[in-house]
Amino acid sequence: MKISLQLYSIKEEAALDFSSALSLVQKAGYQGVEFAGYYGNTAEQMKKLLEEYKLKAVSTHVGIQRLKEALDEELAFANALGYKLVVCPYTTCNSKAEVLENAAILEGCARKAAEQGITLGYHNHSHEFTSQFDGKYAMDILLENAPALKFQPDVFWIAVGGVDPLRYLEPLAGTGRLCALHAKELAKEGKANVYVGQGKIDFAALAKVCPPSVYPWIIEQEEFSSDHLDGITQSYQGLRRVFDAL
């Protein structure tokens, strides 16, 4: 079962030298990557770099404004590299009207992407769960009003939002709405992002709900208590132990 890294985790290295950043991903043991920008590389250049480091592109994060303005370019890039998942990483939800407006935008993009065999997903933060309208989480309103849009749950942010990730995802698992999972660990106390296996999120239970044989599992590490290579390696090894025990 493959494990990928969201490259936002090592954005500083990627900005300085993208090739060296990919070498860190390979050294840490990962088999795939999720993009958070392409750092000036063309699709052909990116394809060669991934081949050099024996990594597979599984998905990309693309902001909602970019989706509105350049969806065709993003879909072309995805098709050139062979990945079938494009994810919107963030929207605001200051009102129900704003959530509905974003849902309409993302639904249109999702339908257009589907015409090319590409899935459009949405990655949550905590505010989609701390914001409620008419007794519903903003996350639920977004999904209900964008039926073609899939969901890439970030379990850390769901938990930070005060919701049990396992309880929230169980009823969604059989609906076809999930497209991938962001494996990000929450400290046993407080709201720090620690290395996978060192916090309180039950990844073994989540793996039964979102089997890694079906859904891409992607580690995102936003906080480090050691250097970046050591940090992404520790999280990889922590999740690998979970998978090996399944």
Tens digit of each residue's pLDDT (9 = 90 or more) over 22-74: 999 999 999 999 999 999 999 999 999 999 999 999 999 999 999 999 999 99
Asked if residue 157 has pLDDT above 90, the reply is yes
d(CA 152, CA 168): 13
Q: Which of 246, 188, 178 is nearest to 218 (CA)?
A: 178
- For residue 174, what pLDDT is reported? 83
pLDDT per residue as tens digits for the range 13-23: 999 999 999 99
d(CA 128, CA 144): 13
Helix-helix angle 228-244:18-28, to 10 degrees:
40
Average pLDDT over residues 125-135: 98
DSSP character string of 121-178: EEE--SHHHH-EETTEEHHHHHHHT-TT-EEE-BHHHHHHTT--HHHHHHHHHTTT-B
Asked if residue 167 has pLDDT above 90, the reply is yes
Asked if residue 139 has pLDDT above 90, the reply is yes
* Phi, psi angle pair for 172, to nearest 5°: -85, -20
Whole-structure pTM value: 0.98
Q: Which two tokens stand for residue 193?
A: 């992002």
